[in-house]
Amino acid sequence: MHISILGSGCANCVTLERVTREAVAELGLTAEFEKVTDPGEIASYGVMRTPGLVVDDQLLLSGRVPTAAQVRELLEPLVTAR
């Protein structure tokens, strides 16, 4: 699983990465994390407000910081689809 955190590195971006790592650990997944800070690349995902969460090239959310439980809910369907 490849996870990209989209944003400038602000506090919300850091928090999104932290809660996403928590969710990945709780689900027992292995994931590679990447921080995407380039505005052009962020815009290529259609993100107008950061932070953004992309998993395996699929945009799951943007413009808000979810809880670890909410990220788990977003990831669970992707895990069962594998």
Domain with residues 2-81, CATH architecture = 3-Layer(aba) Sandwich (3.40)
Among 4, 24, 1, 26, which residue's Cα sits nearest to residue 13?
4
Active site (annotated) includes residue 10: yes
Res. 82 pLDDT band, cuts 50 70 90: low
Q: What is the pTM of this model?
A: 0.93
Active site (annotated) includes residue 9: no
Domain ranges of the chain: 2-81
Give the integer Cα–Cα distance in Å for 44 and 81.
25
Helix locations, 1-82, DSSP H: 11-26, 39-44, 68-81
Catalytic member of 13, 36, 47, 55:
13
Average pLDDT over residues 16-25: 97
The separation between the first and the last C-alpha atoms of the chain, rounded to the nearest angstrom, is: 10
Which carries the bigger pLDDT value, residue 79 or residue 5?
A: 5
Enumerate residues 6+ apart whose C-beta is below 8 A from 81.
none
Catalytic member of 9, 10, 67, 69:
10
